[in-house]
């Protein structure tokens, strides 16, 4: 369903009363305990925790394979960068599949 992150507690200083909204794979939510969760393939369809970011599609397979205790660094990217990273990831995946056949 998701991957809980450990580290400094993230406090909500604005408002915890948030209406439920649709969720997508890769979104990072922060529940009341302040420990962020990256939602993966079997996540729920709606949720009411604050959402602070989304892991780009090209990085989700790698995130799902991380071992407990692995340090994760985040970097903000714009839409064009995310699209270029996804194109390179898609090409690399296709090359790997074609080499295996």
The per-residue pLDDT for range 9-64, each reduced to its tens digit, is 998 877 666 788 999 999 999 998 999 999 999 898 998 888 999 999 999 999 99
pLDDT for res 11: 86
* Residue 99: per-residue pLDDT: 87
Domains of the chain are 2-74 (2.40.100.10)
Compute CA distances 71 → 5, 66, 67, 92, whole Å. Answer: 9, 9, 9, 24
Give the per-residue pLDDT at 91.
95
Instruction: Using the structure block, give the residue that is written with the tokens 């009363």.
Output: 17
Judge whether 27 and 1 are in contact, CB under 8 Å: no
pLDDT of 100 > 90? The answer is: no
**Mean pLDDT for the stretch of residues 73-81:** 96
pLDDT on residue 16: 64
């Amino acid at each position: 369903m998701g991957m809980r992150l450990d580290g400094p507690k993230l406090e909500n200083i604005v408002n915890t009363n948030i209406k439920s909204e649709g969720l997508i794979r890769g979104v990072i939510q922060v529940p009341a305990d302040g420990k962020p969760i990256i939602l993966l393939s079997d996540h729920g369809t709606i949720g009411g925790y604050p959402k602070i970011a989304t892991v780009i599609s090209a990085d989700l397979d790698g995130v799902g394979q991380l071992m407990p205790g692995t340090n994760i660094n985040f970097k903000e990217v714009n839409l064009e960068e995310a699209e270029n990273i996804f194109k390179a990831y898609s090409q690399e995946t296709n090359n790997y599949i074609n080499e295996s056949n």
